[in-house]
Structure 1
């Protein structure tokens, strides 16, 4: 939408921008009292109406006030694995480091929606950050640190460089990964100085870019991605499977192609977490698996993400895509992308080739 006042941070600003109908405003005000609202100018320009793939991601809806019995404030169990402020240690060889809890936009499906926002916990204090680093230093099995939040790309390049240099000084930390939505929602923030700050890690520093629809790849977003990749920062993707956004094979194929064409390796497609008020966007697992099966037959392996579910309660992330292999006595049967089963190993004397 053009001429939108930005940034949009409350229900009334959404209404002034034409993104909330007057008869819905009271309900959206109630949503905004509970969950943060944030839409950048770059995102607002892409929203044609509240029910399009961009509006569904960022414009609050009254359905968010409806909490299903299975939904929970901490759907993936971060709190159970948070030994000190700013650290989540769920897997032996990696930790999450959360230096801030604010974002440039607030996704309506966010699994941390009870924790993030302008009125949330803000940034770690200097003392809390030192405590978090001490925790990493004291656990030599930690090989990778995933900097997340909030969105770390809202930090200044100076602050991001300080984090990269501090982690680089810990000998057993060999991989740095930064999760962000900034390149597609506020691409001007991706400056050469920010890219240089990541390279200050000196080793394997990756950026995981969150995008959910091909329309997010504007020329400005593609230029921001290029500034990172051309500076020597490899990128991988993460997306969430969302009703009305990317739950068709055509939409998902277009999204994964855009990632790949922009030198972002497709990595994770997340099943929607059981966050409160998000059931209207969640896609059943059976539909997600069928979608991934269709992609396998028509999309390059280079562009295939791994479909994963973060088990509620903090039990870890596992692949939940379709299976292609089944036992057949002492042998196996393998299904091809068209759905035909084949014995493996083939019967003796079968000389057929593809």
Structure 2
């Protein structure tokens, strides 16, 4: 059976503007007038954008709204702690050419665009996104692709940003076709918030652009179950019906998803939307993000809560990006200590010695 084309964006949605200024946010009723000066001060330092799809999810009557917390500027962003860094995961030290980060032998990051439909207040690339040189030019893209062609150990290309699904479909198609022609590249992975933040963008031209002979995956960034609106779930269905498998990445955030109930609900909602939970990121040490930080021990306790209480499909890997560019390390709880193994309820049991112990 030929899959039906996704519906066109609703005309009213197409007319609405992304909120980019304190005036926009106040006019939408998402922040009181006394906060305008604070929001303006933050906007002078870091990019601001809230799409209509996400603005509709914010409850302005709730001072602890988890969607608002992620996207409405907060004056605490202007205070950096000594541990925080402009380049918290060391991208720059592993960038041999513009647009490429080559940290691991078998995979590279390709960052063709540093614009996003929405700007998270905890973004680890917040010093770069939205800047003047935010899109690779033709020559820069050619150089990045030449680097990938020249390094035959590269098995996977992770296309990130910014948000690569903001590129025109024709540009995306050119990039996918170029990677498809590199025989040693066997996996292409896009990281994007678009299915959640701007779901109408997932239309037939974009789906056609992502068709590839090479295995192509999309990692959906989602931090709270409420972000998976009906429109977002429909966008994800369009991707999966086009044969594109989905995984997720979530950032552990204080007062957003750092409770057992919130994290459990999110992981189940992702799986119900055909998105396999992949990473639960410990928050990177970006400037002005300390008010979002959850202690590692608390994150490990949350992972213990998930174990046994939700399906194995709902279990992400809890990881930390080591500052300085040393890569990701799994930091989830350990259940085996010597000859004792812990079950999902906290009980400890002896495991018999194995041959060779």
The interval holding the TM-score normalised by the smaller chain is: over 0.9
- Normalising to structure 2: TM-score of the pair? 0.93
Deviations 1:164-210 (A, max 9, x none): 100011110010000000001110000122122111x2121000000
Matched, 1:179 2:191: yes
Q: How many Å separate the matches in 2 of 1:156 and 1:32?
A: 26
Q: How many Å separate the matches in 2 of 1:346 and 1:337?
A: 21
Give the conservation status (yes or no) of the 8 Å contact 1:5–1:17. Answer: no
Greater shift after overlay, 67-76 or 25-34? Answer: 25-34
SS at 1:297's partner residue? coil
SS at 1:64's partner residue? helix
Identify which of 331, 335, 346 aligns with 1:320: 331
1:66-145 equivalent positions in 2, closer than 5 A: 66-117=79-130, 119-145=131-157
Q: How many Å separate the matches in 1 of 2:58 and 2:133?
A: 29
SS at 1:160's partner residue? helix
Give the conservation status (yes or no) of the 8 Å contact 1:102–1:120. Answer: no
Q: How many Å separate the matches in 2 of 1:272 and 1:308?
A: 9
Deviation for aligned residue 1:67: 0.4
Matched, 1:18 2:29: yes
Q: How many Å separate the matches in 2 of 1:98 and 1:120?
A: 15
Matched, 1:338 2:345: yes
Q: How many Å separate the matches in 1 of 2:117 and 2:297?
A: 33
Q: How many Å separate the matches in 2 of 1:196 and 1:324?
A: 45
Paired residues in the alignment total: 340
Aligned match of 2:254: 243
Identify which of 233, 244, 264 aligns with 1:233: 244
Aligned match of 1:350: none
Greater shift after overlay, 141-150 or 20-29? Answer: 20-29
Q: How many Å separate the matches in 2 of 1:317 and 1:342?
A: 31
Q: How many Å separate the matches in 1 of 2:100 and 2:35?
A: 39
Q: How many Å separate the matches in 1 of 2:23 and 2:126?
A: 20
CA RMSD of aligned residues (A): 1.6
Deviation for aligned residue 1:343: 0.8
Q: How many Å separate the matches in 1 of 2:157 and 2:165?
A: 16
Identify which of 291, 297, 320 aligns with 1:286: 297
Q: How many Å separate the matches in 1 of 2:133 and 2:269?
A: 34
Aligned match of 1:32: 43
**Tell me, which stretches of 5 or more residues in structure 2 are unaligned?**
1-11
Deviation for aligned residue 1:6: 2.4
Q: How many Å separate the matches in 2 of 1:219 and 1:55?
A: 19
Deviations 1:101-132 (A, max 9, x none): 10000000100000001x34221000000000
- Normalising to structure 1: TM-score of the pair? 0.93
Deviations 1:130-164 (A, max 9, x none): 00011101110000000011101111221111111
SS at 2:209's partner residue? helix
Aligned match of 2:65: 52
Matched, 1:153 2:165: yes
SS at 1:39's partner residue? coil
Deviation for aligned residue 1:5: 6.0
Deviations 1:268-298 (A, max 9, x none): 0000100111111111101100011011020
Aligned match of 1:214: 225
Deviations 1:220-277 (A, max 9, x none): 1111000000110001000000011100111011111111011111100000100111
Please list every run of at least 4 consecutive aligned residues from structure 1 whose deviation after the TM superposition is greater than 3 angstroms: 2-5
Q: How many Å separate the matches in 2 of 1:326 and 1:18?
A: 53
1:260-271 equivalent positions in 2, closer than 5 A: 260-271=271-282
